[in-house]
Amino acid sequence: MSFLGEEAVLQDRQKLAVNNSVICEILEVVMPEGGANEDSGMLYLYPIEDNQFCLQLYFRLGPDETSVNTSVCSLRFQPSFFDQYPAEQLMANQPFRFDQTTEMQFPVCSKSRTLIGQMKVDANITPFLRSLQLTELAMQLLRRALECISIPFAACQVPACRFLAYESEREKIQDARLILEQNIDLPYTIKELARKVAMNECYLKKGFKTLVGRTIHEYQQELRIEKAKQLLQHEGRSVTEVANTLGYSSISHFSTAFKRITGMKPCELLA
């Protein structure tokens, strides 16, 4: 799970039967030594289509006197949950913008921790009453998360991508981004990158632009030019050497890309 980091180890997963519009899971994980153990929350908002979106909440609770592991409460509010509210009512409040994808961190208050504790307690009541209880707790957690948000959202104005409602698809996008960052001198084609992360090419292009804010080509160019600036300015490499090192087909191609992004010629930075 990208929210916890690659080294987190899942110990237990418990699904709670909330209702058809809200999906809840309680995860018990072991964080790596020295990893973050403080309480924190993350909100993801994904437009699905006109006036419809999916909202995902993660509450990470660090170890306490009752557990040595980190607990995570995952809540997914499906588009059907928001159908009961008028669109103009939702859009009057951040982060409910149907033309934007949002990723936002927020602090976890003591009340939220108490509410999550109540969700984990298996009350001896009928399934329907249990569903009503969990629904009420989930709605309180959503309200408190929205109340805790106090800084601007990281939003990207792009067409809605229905498939980004699934965490597995979002993680493929992040995997693709990591591959690019680790292979600056070997630029991947979209076809090669899509094969690497096992994702449809069209989905990869749209999803990457949505989550990263730039196309795959733009992001690759930015990475390569940033590396070029380092090689020219701090390591004293020649323009020819830098162009070859970063896999450009010619010096003129490299110079054109460098000037388009930085506003100067490579030789000016070297001087």
Domain-by-domain residue ranges, the chain?
A: 9-157, 166-270
pLDDT at 158: 42
Residue 210: which residues within 8 A CB-CB, separation 6 or more? 101, 156, 158, 161, 164
Tokens of 110: 């003591």
What pLDDT is attached to residue 151? 46
d(CA 166, CA 172): 10
Choosing among 3.40.50.300, 1.20.1250.20, 2.60.40.1840, 1.10.10.60, the CATH entry for 166-270 is: 1.10.10.60
Backbone angles phi, psi at 260, to 5 degrees: -60, -35
SS (H, E, C) 56-93: EEEEEECCECCECCEEEEEEEECHHHHCCCCHHHHHCC
Strand partners, 155: 102
pLDDT, residue 31, reads: 72
Q: What backbone torsions phi and psi does residue 108 show, to the nearest 5 degrees?
A: -100, 120
Burial class (CB within 10 angstroms; exposed 0-12, middle 13-18, buried 19+) of 141: buried
Report the amino acid identity of residue 141: L
* Cβ proximity of 134 and 24 under 8 Å: yes
pLDDT tens for the chain, 271 residues long, are 555 555 667 788 899 989 999 999 998 888 766 555 578 888 888 877 766 778 899 998 887 656 667 889 999 999 899 888 887 777 776 666 555 677 888 888 888 889 999 998 877 889 999 999 999 999 999 998 888 774 444 444 444 566 777 778 888 998 999 999 888 878 788 999 999 999 988 889 888 888 888 889 888 888 888 888 888 877 777 888 888 887 777 788 788 888 888 888 877 766 5
What is the rounded CA–CA span in Å between residue 150 and residue 153?
9
